[in-house]
Amino acid sequence: MNSKYSQLFQPFSFAIGVSLKNRLVMAPMTNFSSNPDGTVSDEEVNYYARRSKGVSMVVTACTYVAPNGKGFQGEFAADRDEMIPSLKQLASAIKEEGAKAILQIFHGGRECPPDLVPNGDVVSASAVPSERNGSVTPRELPEDEIEAIIRAFGETTRRAIEAGYDGVEIHGANGYLIQQFFSPHSNRREDRWGGSIEQRLRFPLAVVDEVVKVAAQHAKQPFIVGYRFSPEEPETPGITMADTLALIDALVEKKLDYLHVSQTDYKAKPRRGIDDTRSRLEIIQERVDGRIPVIGVGSVYKADDAVEALKTGVPLLALGRELIIDPDWVEKIESGREAEIETKIDKSGQKRLVVPDPLWQAIINTPGWFPGIE
C-alpha cells in the first residue's frame, strides 16, 4: 500500500467499544430490488455481500418502520416481526464478509408515493406538499399517530437487534419524515411539535430517545446508534446551515455513536444561514469539536479524494456510487492498485459488478446520476 493512503486503513473505535478495521464505510443507497412482499431479495443480498469485504461498516438502504412510511418501489420492510428472518439474511451476508452491519431506519412521510401506502394516505408534519413534480398534499399527523410512529422506530430497532445487526442509523435526511418535522418548509404546526426551532426539533429528538432507550433495553452487546442529516434545504423557507448547527448541538447531547452528513460533494459550501466560506463538512466538524464521530460523504471517487476529505477532520468516510462502479475500490487501494480503480460505470458489466436489475435499470436510464452515463 502507498503510505499516503495508510490513514484510510487506521482502525477506529466508537466510544461504546465497537471497533472498525478502517475508516471507510458503505453509504446507504436505495436499490429498488426487494421482493414485493417486503422481504430482501437474493439479488440484494448478493449485491451487499459483494461490497462488504473491503469497507469496515455497511449502512443498508433505508427500511420503513411503518406501513405508511414506504418511500420506494422495491424497498425492504422492517415494520413487523415477520420481517426479522429477512432482515437477518441481509445482516448475516454483510457480517460474513467482515463488515459491521447497520440498518438504516426511516419513514418517508410526504415523499411516499400514494400507491405504496395503505389507502393512499400520505402523511407528514403538516399538510404541505413537497416542491418536487407530482407531489401530493399530505395529511397532517395528529398527536396519537406521531407517538405511534416514534414507537415504531423503537420497535424496528428491536427487530434490528434480534436480526443480528450491529446498529441502526436513524434517517433524518433527504427530505423524509424526520427532516419534515425539523424543516420550516414542511412543518407549519402551531402545537408542541412545530413553531420554534426547539419545537421543530422535538420529533427528531423523540425518535432518538426512543431508539436509544430500546437499544439499551434489548441489546446484549454494544449496539451502534447513528443519525443521518442533510445540512440544508433549497426551499424557502427551509433548513439553513444555522438550523443544522442547532440540530448538531442537540444531537451531541444524546447518547449517539455518530453523525452522518448527507450531501453529494464533501467540498460543498453553505448556501445560507451563516457567513463562512469553508466547506460544510469543516464547519460541522468544528461544531462537533470531537464530541461525536462524523461520517463525511460525497464525490469521493479516487484514493486521493478520500485523503483530501479526511483533511476536514472527520474520522470516517462513506462511499456510495463509488462502490457500485467498483466493488473492489477499498481492496485496490489497500493492495497498492489504486491506479486500477474504475471511475465510470461499465455499461456491459452488470453481472460482473453484481448489481440487481432494478438498480441497474435506474443507473443506465438516469442521465447525470452516474459517471460515464450520458
Q: Which residues are catalytic?
A: 176
Query: Could you report how far apart the first and last alpha carbons of the chain are, in Å?
Result: 34
Residue type, 53: K
| DSSP state letter for 23 | S
Cα 107 from Cα 64, distance rounded (Å): 5
Alpha-carbon distance of 36 to 282, in angstroms, equals 42
Cis preceding linkage at 234, omega within 30: no
Residue type, 27: A
Cell of 364: 443506465
Q: Which residues contact 197 (CB under 8 A, 6 or more apart)?
A: 243, 246
Checking DSSP bridges between strand 167-172 and strand 100-106, what pairing results, if any? parallel
Phi and psi dihedrals of 154, rounded to 5?
A: -65, -45
Instruction: Centre a 10 Å sphere on the Cβ of residue 328 and count the other Cβ atoms it contains.
Output: 19
Query: Using an 8 Å Cβ cutoff, are 182 and 247 in contact?
Result: yes
- What 208-211 contacts at long range (C-beta under 8 Å, 24+ apart), as own/partner pairs, is 208/170, 208/251, 208/254, 208/256, 209/254, 210/150, 210/151, 210/153, 210/154, 210/157, 211/105, 211/153, 211/154, 211/157, 211/168, 211/170
Q: Are 100 and 57 in contact (CB under 8 A)?
A: yes
Is the bond into 237 cis (omega within 30 degrees of 0)? Answer: yes
Cα–Cα nearest to 272, from 238, 312, 297: 238
Cβ atoms of residues 112 and 69 within 8 Å: yes
Residue carrying C-alpha cell 462513506: 318
Query: Using the 8-state DSSP alphabet, how is residue 77 labeled?
Result: B
Looking at residue 133, its amino acid is N
Contact 150, 206 (CB under 8 A): yes
**Structure-block grid coordinates of residue 119:** 389507502
